Amino acid sequence: MKSWGRRLKPISITQNLQKQVDRRPVTRFSALLVSAWGWNPQGWWSLVVALFTLAACTSAGPTEVTAVPLISAPLITETTTVANTAMPAVPEPATAPAEAILIQEPGPGSRLTNPLLVRGEAESTFEQNLVVRLVDANGTELGLTAVTIAAEMGQRGPFEATLPFAVSGEQQAFIQVFATSPRDGGVTHLNAVGVMLTDGAAAIRPSLPETTERIAITQPALAATISGGTVQISGVGVASFEQTLLVELVGEDGTTLASQPVIVNAPDLGQPGTFSAQLPYRVTTTGSGRVVVRDISPAFGGDTHVTSVEVTLSP
């Protein structure tokens, strides 16, 4: 059978020499080195190839490396809170204005006998005059007297008034202390306290510890000039019934030009909060006016608190 394997023939010395002669110069040079120093030509050639490869890599410049993008979590930044500028902030007790007419005696719920005594302190008014009025639960006037603030003009000071009344048994009543405008006679500021009138024994309770203004108008400012047929009103206040106040615009002769109920934005009933309203008006000439905010009691339909600012109204 014919063999498919390749038979190896011995190579003679002459053939080996011929192969050395036929080699390329580099190969012959390698053989010379082998014979002279005993180097392994295969290892030397590998060294030469490595050197040429290194030189080629160096001359080709830096190898471009494609960076693999890292997956990183988004940076956590501090949250910035934007204040709501649409409504005025509720003033802190330390910065809130003092009550313009503060009733210090009697306190709410006091049982009073004839005659009743009212004490307090107030900001300066026209000629330092105040009015003290007593009304029953139906709004009927039971007594009225004038009182003067005991201080120099332009200064805050104390006041005291005695008011006689006549009742049989017991009945609920309200003591109102207020200032009036010399221009039109309208109420410019009022404060009130609920009491019980009796023909029995008196029991005077202390006044409330709060001495800050219950209703403060922050816009418009005092003596501001209003034009364009609309007045923007805002402020901070406390409403005694269903968080509702009444905002009014009064003309030069005391006539009410516009009015609108507003809701106090407070966290809970009986707490201070902000309010805002826009009242349209119409005047033909420039003149004095007044922005009034009233807190009306459902018990007798009268005012428990009134505050106002004098302004100038223009067409």
192-210 pLDDT tens trace: 999 999 999 999 999 988 7
- Is residue 94 located within the same domain as residue 203? yes
Is 47 part of a structural domain of the chain?
Answer: yes
pLDDT value, residue 91:
58
pLDDT value, residue 210:
77
CA-CA distance, 234 to 218, in Å (whole number)?
Answer: 6
What's 287's domain CATH number? 2.60.40.2550
Is 77 part of a structural domain of the chain?
Answer: no
Residues 269-299: pLDDT tens digits? 889 999 999 999 999 999 999 999 999 999 8
For 179, phi then psi, to 5°, come to -115, 155
- Is residue 218 located within the same domain as residue 208? no
pLDDT value, residue 209:
85
Is 57 part of a structural domain of the chain?
Answer: no
Last residue of a domain, one of 212, 229, 252: 212
Those residues whose C-beta lies under 8 Å from the C-beta of residue 144, and which sit 6 or more positions away, are: 131, 132, 133, 134, 163
Residues 244-257: pLDDT tens digits? 999 999 999 999 99
pLDDT value, residue 92:
56
- Is residue 177 located within the same domain as residue 275? no
pLDDT value, residue 90:
59
Q: Which residues of the chain have pLDDT under 70?
A: 1-95
- Is residue 264 located within the same domain as residue 178? no
Last residue of a domain, one of 171, 195, 212: 212
Last residue of a domain, one of 184, 212, 240: 212
- Is residue 130 located within the same domain as residue 244? no
Is 208 part of a structural domain of the chain?
Answer: yes
For 72, phi then psi, to 5°, come to -120, 150
Is 252 part of a structural domain of the chain?
Answer: yes
- Is residue 170 located within the same domain as residue 189? yes
pLDDT value, residue 83:
37
- Is residue 95 located within the same domain as residue 193? yes
| Count of domains observed in the chain | 3
Only one residue has tokens 């302190």, namely 121
- Is residue 235 located within the same domain as residue 161? no
The answer to whether the beta carbons of residues 277 and 248 sit under 8 Å apart is: no
Is 82 part of a structural domain of the chain?
Answer: no
CA-CA distance, 179 to 122, in Å (whole number)?
Answer: 10
- Is residue 41 located within the same domain as residue 151? no
- Is residue 202 located within the same domain as residue 225? no
- Is residue 298 located within the same domain as residue 310? yes
- Is residue 96 located within the same domain as residue 157? yes
**Domain boundaries, position 120:** 89-212
Is 304 part of a structural domain of the chain?
Answer: yes
Torsion of CA 172, 175, 181, 182, to 10 degrees: 110
Is 66 part of a structural domain of the chain?
Answer: no
pTM of the entire predicted model: 0.71
